[in-house]
């Protein structure tokens, strides 16, 4: 059986299965009693094809729009732009000057001409009654007015199905229909021969059993549909940062309205159609919408941002113009949601098991019916009444047929694949309670078979609550864990060093210091940025003052390959200054000067370099994450088209950031090891820091190897064959290093690999892995789920076995009743059992064996 399943149902993968494979297994499952129930949680391939057609259409539309825009730009300055657009009366009365359809045509069509006519981004903002700096007003009347005119940011969903729909679906079972016909015939014949109510007992018994099966099935399916609805709702809880009433805040993507100012960062999904307001180095991946893999540059010249696309690089502010079903993404999502998720490999194989059991059940049902009919014919031959057939004989034949159909009903486990799906959904629900959101049902199944975990450090093994605890400025190294020690340290360092340090912290950042609705200071951004900004505030800095004094000319956001970020600012007295921060050894290597203890910029000599490197090593050995901050005076000649310089910097400071190991990680790693799962740490941090954290977590052992990404890259294929099984820590790794490690583990060593990461620079590895875990701030509780994989399997299959063993027991009880009746009847007639009766008795007694054997195969199939 296992070979048959692997050959015919084994080519469906946990992710990215081909359409041919998905279609092939469906054709093999020809023996299906109730298609609606059997294939309820499988992908709707026709809807998939529709979605792909929409993508191709979008790709062609955008290609044409870009060509038209280029042509329009060549003539636009020579034309006297005028518009025949008329504002609809209801829009004007609501206080706006542009309607939703016009906004949609501008962004979706990349219509540069219309954008110019409406006054570009500033003009659109004005017509939407919003401010680029302060956002929309949150007064209830204005918000309701926007919703009425422009709609809400929600996609059309299929209405929830009521209980009666599930009752109707349960009635679609072919065997139940046949039993229904048997019940009708039995009632007619019984009442005609024996009258009411005596003649109706058999028929009404069949009807009662049908109703019982239907209502139990429908109730179970209805409850599970409600659970799936809850799961789907949880999966869609996504928040974005917006500015409203001049206050930066987080809101649900479903609360977005046209006129909102949204702040986007690397890895974010664009939540609605909109226009680029300001930002730096923005690259947008439009593959989810158009299928085009090449990222698109978005800037003032090409300001169009489409819902559903992803920010691949850079950061920006966006003005929301179109929401919900008016966007192309909304239309695509409506189709995709009907298409459903891919079925899991276990689901497919269990469909194969159900099909095999169905064939066996059908065969024995036919044989049983034939044997019973032959027994009746033999008896009539012995009695000499074979030419005389009465209503009793017809009724007996009908009972034989009902027995045969009952065998098919019991023997074909139509709900087996469904039960697995629901068990996996239960596992999803259980993991959600541990703050682990599973977006794909197949992930629960694959997790149970993981043999290797490649884990990121920050936020996965550590808490992701960062604080600057040590700093080295102008040769002075101190602990700065508290406000008193930081204030004392700030007064001890030279004025020049302090001034430039604060300028670097508040300008060269992806975070922001804001005042929230409660008028309290709040720091927004990544944990690293938050820690640095908090350090700057404790030093006595004023973020708004520092940012207003200088104008940002160019920004290069943090890059996983370069391991640093940079910014160029225009100084109030003229001239430009570049600031750089990032991995300590990389930024320090770009420095040739340092600010000494007197506040004087001096060349970096060997003694100073050794002192700074020793400081980095000391911080790293204490499990601190180290960052180096540096600056460079550029002079008066700089263009924003020029790249930010990469050398000649002056070192300002080295800071050590504490990110404590998450409680329970060491125990979880130990459980993983005992379960036979290898845990590897793959991080972008310093090698010394990575080794210190790995030892604290129990990942790095005496016989394990810690290696840096650049060294790993230089190894030949033969060297990697020997090296990879021993690697336990990879530091200073780029996204491609992680991808290469995962690829080798999967292909060369046939491991089932789980990768944890933040979902941005880990994207290639997450995509390559058998299971990708994109972690949030409370993510690593998943380790407990993965490490106890055997228990998870037992729990998943326990629910299935309960259902089917119970059904098998009921079936066997019914069969033994028939055996006893046959036996007593034979005994009463004082005649020996015929071979037909012995055959029926033995068959009924052992019918459960193929079902049990098939169920025993489930754990084998799952692997």
**CA 153 to each of CA 147, 277, 320, 586: distance values in angstroms, whole numbers, following the listed order:** 9, 20, 10, 44
Could you tell me which residues are beta bridge partners of residue 262?
242, 318
For the beta carbon of residue 845, count every other beta carbon within 10 angstroms.
13
For the beta carbon of residue 559, count every other beta carbon within 10 angstroms.
17
Nearest by Cα to 779 from 527, 561, 580, 545:
527
What is the tally of helices (H) and strands (E) in the chain? 35, 24
Nearest by Cα to 735 from 765, 692, 773:
765
Collapsing DSSP states into helix, strand and coil, what is residue 772?
A: strand
Element (H, E) at 467: strand 467-473
Could you tell me which residues are beta bridge partners of residue 565?
581
Collapsing DSSP states into helix, strand and coil, what is residue 82?
A: coil
Element (H, E) at 305: strand 304-305
Dihedral pair phi/psi, residue 275, rounded to 5°: -125, 140
Which positions ≥6 away from 425 have C-beta within 8 Å? 224, 227, 228, 231, 441
Pairing of strands 678-682, 727-731: parallel
441 in Cβ contact with 227 (< 8 Å): no
672 in Cβ contact with 453 (< 8 Å): yes
Which position among 456, 659, 685, 758 bears the catalytic label? 456
Cα–Cα distance, 620 to 589 (Å, whole number): 17
Cα–Cα distance, 126 to 361 (Å, whole number): 72
Question: How buried is 387 (Cβ within 10 angstroms: 0-12 exposed, 13-18 middle, 19+ buried)?
Answer: exposed
Pairing of strands 310-322, 261-264: antiparallel
Q: What is the largest CA-CA distance in the chain?
A: 125
Active site residue 230: no
* Residue found by looking up tokens 């890259």 in the block: 713
Nearest by Cα to 406 from 166, 220, 210, 216:
210
Token readout for 151 is 């709609």
715 backbone φψ class: left, alpha, beta (φ>0; ψ -120 to 50): beta
672-700 burial: b if 16+ Cβ within 10 Å, else e = beeeebbbbbbbbbbbbbbbbbbebbbbb
Pairing of strands 239-244, 261-264: antiparallel
Cα–Cα distance, 552 to 315 (Å, whole number): 14
Dihedral pair phi/psi, residue 415, rounded to 5°: -90, 5
357 in Cβ contact with 850 (< 8 Å): yes
**What is the DSSP annotation of 395-414?**
HHHHHHHHHHHHHHHHHS-T
Cα–Cα distance, 592 to 313 (Å, whole number): 29
Alpha helices in 539-605 (DSSP H): 543-549, 584-589
Cα–Cα distance, 515 to 262 (Å, whole number): 17
495 backbone φψ class: left, alpha, beta (φ>0; ψ -120 to 50): alpha
185-224 burial: b if 16+ Cβ within 10 Å, else e = bbbebbeeebeeeebbebbeebbeebeebbeebbebbbeb
- List residues with catalytic annotation: 456
């Amino acid at each position: 059986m296992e070979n048959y399943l692997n050959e015919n149902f084994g080519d469906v993968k946990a992710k990215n299965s081909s359409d041919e494979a998905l279609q092939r297994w469906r054709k093999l499952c020809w023996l299906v009693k109730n298609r609606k129930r059997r294939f309820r949680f499988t992908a709707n391939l026709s809807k998939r094809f529709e979605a792909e057609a929409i993508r191709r259409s979008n790709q062609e539309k955008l290609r044409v729009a870009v060509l038209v825009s280029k042509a329009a730009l060549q003539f636009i300055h020579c034309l006297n732009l005028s518009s025949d657009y008329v504002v609809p009366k209801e829009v004007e009365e609501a206080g706006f000057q542009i309607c939703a359809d016009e906004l949609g045509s501008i962004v979706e069509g990349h219509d540069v001409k219309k954008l110019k006519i409406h006054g570009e981004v500033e003009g659109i903002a004005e017509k939407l009654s919003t401010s680029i700096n302060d956002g929309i007003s949150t007064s209830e009347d204005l918000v309701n007015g926007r919703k009425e005119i422009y709609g809400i940011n929600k996609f059309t969903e299929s209405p929830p199905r009521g209980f009666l729909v599930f009752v109707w679906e349960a009635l679609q079972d072919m065997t139940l229909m046949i039993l229904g016909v048997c019940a009708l015939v039995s009632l007619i014949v019984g009442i005609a021969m024996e009258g009411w109510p005596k003649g109706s007992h058999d028929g009404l018994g069949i009807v009662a059993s049908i109703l019982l099966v239907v209502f139990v099935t429908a109730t179970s399916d209805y409850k599970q549909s409600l659970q799936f609805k809850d799961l789907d709702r949880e999966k869609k809880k996504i928040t974005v940062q917006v500015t409203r009433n001049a206050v930066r805040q987080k809101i649900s993507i479903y609360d977005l309205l046209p006129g909102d100012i949204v702040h986007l960062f690397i890895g974010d999904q664009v939540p609605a159609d909109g226009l680029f307001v300001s930002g730096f180095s923005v690259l947008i991946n439009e593959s989810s919408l158009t299928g085009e893999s090449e990222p698109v540059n978005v800037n003032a010249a090409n300001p169009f941002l489409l819902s559903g696309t992803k920010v691949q690089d850079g950061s920006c502010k966006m003005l929301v113009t179109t929401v919900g079903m008016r966007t192309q993404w909304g239309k695509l999502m409506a189709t995709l949601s009907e298409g459903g998720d891919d079925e899991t490999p276990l689901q497919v194989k269990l469909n194969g098991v159900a099909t095999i059991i169905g064939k066996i059940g059908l065969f024995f049902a036919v044989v049983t019916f034939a044997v019973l009919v032959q027994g009746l014919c033999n008896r009539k031959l012995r009695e000499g009444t074979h030419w005389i057939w009465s209503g009793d004989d017809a009724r007996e034949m009908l009972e034989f047929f009902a027995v045969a159909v009952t065998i098919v009903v019991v023997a074909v486990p139509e709900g087996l694949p469904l039960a697995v799906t629901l068990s996996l959904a239960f596992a999803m629900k259980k993991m959600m309670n541990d703050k682990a959101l599973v977006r794909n049902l197949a992930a629960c199944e694959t997790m149970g078979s993981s043999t290797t975990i490649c884990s990121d450090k920050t936020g996965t093994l550590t808490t992701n609550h960062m604080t600057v605890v040590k700093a080295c400025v102008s040769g002075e190294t101190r602990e700065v864990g508290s406000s008193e020690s930081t204030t004392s340290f700030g007064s001890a360092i030279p004025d020049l060093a302090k001034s430039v340090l604060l300028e670097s912290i508040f300008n060269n950042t992806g975070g922001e210091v804001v005042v929230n609705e409660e008028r309290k200071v709040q720091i927004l951004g990544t944990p690293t940025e938050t820690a640095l900004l908090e350090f700057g505030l404790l030093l006595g800095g004023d973020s708004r003052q520092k940012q207003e004094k200088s104008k940002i000319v160019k920004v290069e956001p943090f890059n996983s390959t370069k391991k640093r970020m940079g910014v160029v600012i225009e100084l109030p007295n003229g001239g430009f200054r570049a600031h750089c921060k990032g991995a300590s050894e990389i930024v320090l290597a770009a420095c040739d000067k340092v600010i000494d203890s007197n506040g004087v910029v001096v060349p970096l000599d060997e003694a100073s370099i050794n002192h700074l490197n020793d400081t980095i090593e000391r911080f790293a050995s204490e499990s601190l994450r180290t960052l180096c901050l540096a600056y460079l005076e550029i002079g008066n000649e700089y263009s924003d088209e020029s790249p930010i310089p990469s050398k000649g910097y002056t070192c300002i400071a080295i800071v050590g950031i504490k990110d404590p190991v998450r409680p329970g990680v060491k125990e979880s790693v130990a459980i993983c090891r005992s379960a036979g799962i290898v845990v590897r740490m793959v991080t972008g941090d310093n090698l010394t820091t990575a080794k210190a954290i790995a030892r604290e977590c129990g990942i790095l052992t005496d016989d394990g190897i810690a290696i840096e990404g650049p060294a790993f890259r230089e190894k030949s294929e033969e060297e990697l064959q020997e090296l990879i099984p021993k690697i336990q820590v990879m530091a200073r790794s780029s996204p491609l290093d992680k991808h290469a490690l995962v690829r080798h583990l999967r292909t060369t060593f046939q491991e089932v690999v789980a990768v944890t990461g933040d979902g941005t620079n880990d994207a290639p590895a997450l995509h390559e892995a058998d299971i990708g875990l994109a972690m949030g701030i409370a993510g690593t509780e998943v380790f407990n789920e993965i490490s106890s994989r055997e228990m998870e399997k037992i729990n998943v299959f326990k629910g299935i076995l309960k259902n089917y063993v119970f059904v098998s027991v009921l079936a066997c009880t019914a069969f033994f009743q028939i055996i006893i009746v046959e036996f007593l009847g034979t005994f009463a007639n004082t005649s020996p059992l015929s071979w037909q009766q012995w055959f029926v008795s033995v068959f009924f007694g052992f019918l459960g064996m193929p079902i049990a054997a098939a169920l025993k195969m489930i754990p084998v199939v799952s692997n």
